[in-house]
């Protein structure tokens, strides 16, 4: 079985304990900034049940990021069942 299709990813954190910034060099405007990422791309998965193998590839471009790096991402995954 093979799956192909577009990929849409949106990640926004609102948990203050994980993304709030504090310290001597942090301005008051920067302290409440939270992590946010938007991305569009392509994903594909291949499953070979007879061999008990699954492979996947995801490629996307991030845009409108806040409080993190922005760029391209390539993710390759695989699984083998015994």
| Percentage helix, strand, coil for the chain under 3-state DSSP, each rounded to 5 | 5, 55, 40
- Altogether, the residues listed in the chain come to a count of 82
CA dihedral 43, 49, 54, 58 (to 10 degrees): 0
Domains belonging to the chain, first-starting first, are 2-80 (2.20.200)
The reported pTM is 0.60
pLDDT, one tens digit for every residue, the chain (82 residues)? 777 777 677 765 554 445 556 666 667 776 666 677 788 888 899 999 999 999 999 888 888 777 777 888 899 999 999 8
Give the Cα separation of 15 and 20 in Å (integer): 8
């Amino acid at each position: 079985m093979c799956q192909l299709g577009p990929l849409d990813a949106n990640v926004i954190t609102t948990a203050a304990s994980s993304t709030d910034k504090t310290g001597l060099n942090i301005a008051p405007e920067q302290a409440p900034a939270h992590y946010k990422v938007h991305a569009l791309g392509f994903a594909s998965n291949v499953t070979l049940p007879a061999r008990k193998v699954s492979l996947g590839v995801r490629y996307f471009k991030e845009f409108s990021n806040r409080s993190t790096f922005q760029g391209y991402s390539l993710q390759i995954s695989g699984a083998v069942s015994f």
